[in-house]
Amino acid sequence: MSASSSAPREIVRVDCPDDVGLIHRITGVLQGHRLNIESNHEFVDGEARHFFFRAEVTAAAAAIAGGTLHADLAAVLPPGARVRVTREDRRPIVVCATREPHCLGELLLLDAVGELPGRIVAVAANHDDLRGLVARFGVPFHHVPHEGVSRAAHEAALGQVIDAHAPAYVVLARYMRILSEGFVARYAGRLLNIHHSFLPAFAGASPYRQAFARGVKLIGATAHFVTAELDAGPIIAQDVIPVDHTFTPERMAQAGRDVEKLVLARAVRLVLEERVFVHGRRTVVFG
């Protein structure tokens, strides 16, 4: 069936233990709600025997207004199924930064030109260096200094700023602070981070100079969900670029910044578009 061009688009996600006939059951419910499937993806993790499904559907607004789609899907699925139905929308995000502008700047630019499937409603930073950059885009900037206060007090202040904007997700765009387990739990499943892919080989200060000294041939970046275990959350997106002996530490750092900002932007897009399923320590990502 065809849908009106003005019909709202919904995203339907299901993950559950694998079973016979799941596609038939799900599409039967969607048909019963007079929903047109514009695109869909499914995947079965054979080792875990787990099923993942994502579809974009459209219909008259009244078709979903009754609020029974979620319940009707759950009723035909195995116990333990997770069902999520969301409306395609530019949901709010808060970005946390420190001093480095590249990741933050990429997200601000994408938002400004309408290429980010979300809205940056605020930037919070523990230094004031990036205020001018953020001001150019008309986004509220909050300086939440950490000097002279305890980590608990700083995180309480940061959380107050974040919560005032009610974001769907919080993005750490080179936010150079280790967050407590309690703070991470406060935003569980909604906190994204980016770092270079040298970890753990070149952890700590000056990773690109360490990599230069070891003569590495690939550098990259990893975007992941934040968990209590430092830099070990489920991975959303990664990429690498080649380097060679002609790269100075400074040129290597610039190349690293380029890949970091692109990987983070890709991860934010994937999450906002409901393309990322977390299953244990792993992710299933529908591109």
Are 126 and 154 in contact, with CB atoms under 8 Å apart?
A: yes
Instruction: Provide the token pair at 54.
Output: 């994502």
CA atoms within 13 A on the CB side of 246: 1
Q: Strand, coil or helix: what is 33? A: coil
The span from the CA of 30 to the CA of 25, in Å, is: 9
Annotated catalytic residue, options 72, 89, 231, 258: 231
Contacts of 151 (CB under 8 A, 6+ apart): 180
CA atoms within 13 A on the CB side of 24: 3
- Nearest CA among 69, 107, 72, 111 for reference residue 86: 69
Asked if 231 is an active-site residue, the reply is yes
The span from the CA of 175 to the CA of 5, in Å, is: 41
Length of the chain: 287
22 CA to centre of own chain: 27
Question: Annotated active-site positions, please?
Answer: 231
